[in-house]
Amino acid sequence: MSESTYNDPSTAKVFKPPVGGFLDIELTLNWFAGIAFVCGLASARMVNLVGEIFVGELLIVQFAFLLLMLGRVRQALSLPAFGLFLQMAVVMLLGYMLADIYRDALAAQFLRGWARVILVTLDFAALVIVCAHDKRNLWWFVFGMALGALGQLVIRGVPISSPAGWKFGYSAPLVTLLTCMSCIMPMRFSALGFVALGVCNIVMDFRILGAICVAIGAILWIRSADADRFTGARILQLFGIGMLAACILGGTIMATQGEFAKRREQSNAGRSVSLSVAAWAIAESPLIGYGSWPTDTRLVNLYNHAMEQSGQFSPNEASVGSFSAHSQILQVWVEGGLLGVLFWIYYGFWLIRTILYVVLRRPADAYMPVFLFILIYDLWHLFMSAFSGPTRLPIALGVAVICVCAAELREARGLQCATLARR
């Protein structure tokens, strides 16, 4: 992965790691880093075309085209996994087209469904090309995303003290900002920051993000010891840190249960019912999906009936008239059939593999908090969040991080083979 652009003496180093901090990734600011930052900054602004499109999505695609014109296409295509991700995305689009034709979907349905698949493909292709030029561009893009989202919330006057304003507004951008700013902190200070932010998220009723923050804090604390061998004392330390993290999570959730019990009960019921209905739909038609934004009366009625039985049914849900599973992998299987879900199976495999690589093997540099948050949060989205507009850029970031780490793994294997050959 070329970093020649950053060797220009006109570029200036903007962040220096402290003693006991993450390994230096030599963050510098130049024209390409600035463009990546602006693209991230614009990702908070939305326009309505066929559907909701973020300005940052349009800009990052243009940036990628610029890099391709500068001759960076070979670097992008040589990245491991990237070509297969593109092929799987094309197969997913084919699955949606076949399902929509077979189910005679309305234009308002299939245009939005196809556009969603095309946009997420353009997003991850563009980000991978930008990372192939220099992976530090990814850091600048994520940094811009965090600041842009926070600025948008402040301009709109969204209150940070309300649970809704925190959960659907400030929470993710603040965590993202912490992942970027960790490069100027000692590792253990960063770990404590993640734990503190995790507790804040649970107190404000965002349990999963709180759990992810506490988990990242525990991982960073363990990696700060910089030990390579798992001795008996090391294993005890890992067990102790894991138990402490579990106690922090459990204690905070129990302490806030009374305040948010009703909302959590509704959330758990809705997610459980949607997953069970999705499983039934897949069992009924595993090969051909029900089409984009399926309006099949059996799915809608089954979901409404199950919600009524759980006592959590809302009349507003009945007026929607379409079914969506709270799971990317199941939703796409329901909508696009077997051809649609192949991309997500491959994506899930690489997410798990890359998380293990970053946690266990990758050097603890300033990318580590950024990569961990993107990958772990994306893994949650894969199984427990809908495939929708707000998740397109997180998915694209996940694929970009996967391709970066796959390239590092290939390079490490090449060095290992070269070393063995010299022996």
HSE of 325, CA atoms in CB hemisphere, 13 A: 25
pLDDT at position 396, please?
A: 97
**Average pLDDT of span 217-229:** 76
- Pick the residue with more confidence: 254 or 336? 336
Is pLDDT of 320 > 80?
no
Helix (H, G, I), strand (E, B) or coil at 186: strand
52, β-bridge pairs: 48
Q: Distance between CA atoms of 89 and 344, rounded to whole angstroms?
A: 9
pLDDT at position 422, please?
A: 64
Q: Distance between CA atoms of 121 and 324, rounded to whole angstroms?
A: 21
Is pLDDT of 154 > 70?
yes
Is pLDDT of 228 > 60?
no
pLDDT at position 254, please?
A: 67
Tell me the pTM.
0.89
pLDDT band at 6 (very low <50, low <70, confident <90, very high): very low
Of 177, 179, 67, the C-alpha closest to 127 is 67
Supply 266's token pair. 């509704």
Q: Please check whether residue 402 is in contact with residue 351, taking contact to mean a CB–CB distance below 8 angstroms.
A: yes
Supply 251's token pair. 């204690």
Q: What is the overall mean pLDDT for the chain?
A: 84
pLDDT band at 261 (very low <50, low <70, confident <90, very high): low
